[in-house]
Each structure stands twice: as C-alpha cells, then as structure tokens.
Structure 1
C-alpha cells in the first residue's frame, strides 16, 4: 500500500467527506496564517487516534509547505495500515495558488 499524491483541485472533493482527517505538518505560525478546514497538527494524540482507527474506513489528507515533508508522514500512515492516505502535491503553496485562481474563500 502507498499514499496518493493529489492536486489542489482534487482536495475540494475530499473536503466534503465525513470520514476525512486533515493533518497540517507546517509550524504553528504558518497554520495561524491559514489552513484547510479542520486541519490539525500531527500531535501524538492525533497519530495515536489514527493508529487506533486504522481498520475503519478513513481518509487522511496530509499537507506541508510544498508537498515534500508531508510525504514522510503519508508513508508512515500507510505502513501502519491506513488505506486512503493523500498528500497534497505542491503543499500549501499549491493550495494558495489554486484558491487565488478560483477566488475560493475557505471558512475560518
């Protein structure tokens, strides 16, 4: 099993899923300036909850600044048994470019 890289356009479909967990691996300062809805930092509590729920139908979206450092967490999550793990290709930078080109505003 492995994770899937997805682009910013595909993220919109994921954000509507009830089973989605969003993990933002950027630092707290960057998260405070903007983040995807319901995004959480990859704390021990979040990772432990994912481990305990790994046999349930669950989708996990991970992103960072440019889509590189989030890959390590995606690989780990697939190794522990999660089946639907997605990495935002291009990271937050790609999301911001996409959002500005579509004039999409995210809820706070």
Structure 2
C-alpha cells in the first residue's frame, strides 16, 4: 500500500476487531475527555517514539475530530514506512455517534 485509505467507522470497527492499532491525533485534553476505546494518543511530542516502537506492517487507523487532519497524518505515517494506514472518515465525532459504547476517557497513554 503506497498511500492511506479513507474508511467509515464500520470498516474501522471491523479492523479494530482484527487487531488494528488506533491512534488519536487530537489535543491531549480532548483525548483525555473522550476517545475511541484502546486508542493511543499521538502528537508532535511523541510521534517519533510511536514510530520507533510500532509494527510498520500492522493496520493503523488515524482518528482526529472530523476526519480532515487525520488524512495529513495518515499520509505522513505512510511516508514514514507504515504499509497499511487508514484515515477515519468523520473522525471521532462520527465514531461517537456510531459506536457510543466504544468510547473511553482518561489521560493519554
């Protein structure tokens, strides 16, 4: 895969069930307030550490507020060697309405 794919929440949920990693690129306080269950918070401060520790071949779903910023982040992750990257269409806001039971809160991991 040479570029990321945009996927709706339903497809993202299916990938999660198969072990895909979800990263949330929203700001830390917003992430702490509510995020997709199991999502890792990734921002400019920890992105290099995340990349070093990640399995570049594992499916990776990038989530933001509405699905716009995640596209740029997904393209960046592809450029860093990730081979199976997805941008969550509609972002966290659409996820929250589609899967309200799959929301957690707490400080960034």
- Superposition TM-score, scaled by structure 2 size: 0.80
Unpaired segments ≥5 residues, structure 1: none
* Counterparts of 1:39 and 1:48, CA distance in 2: 18
**What is the aligned length?**
99
2:81 matched residue in structure 1: 81
Is 1:9 the counterpart of 2:10 in the alignment? yes
Unpaired segments ≥5 residues, structure 2: 105-109
Pair 1:70–1:17, CA change in 2 (3 A) = same
1:107: how far off?
Answer: 6.4
- Superposition TM-score, scaled by structure 1 size: 0.80
2:33 matched residue in structure 1: 33
Moved over 3 A (4+): none
Aligned partner of 1:105 among 91, 101, 104: 101
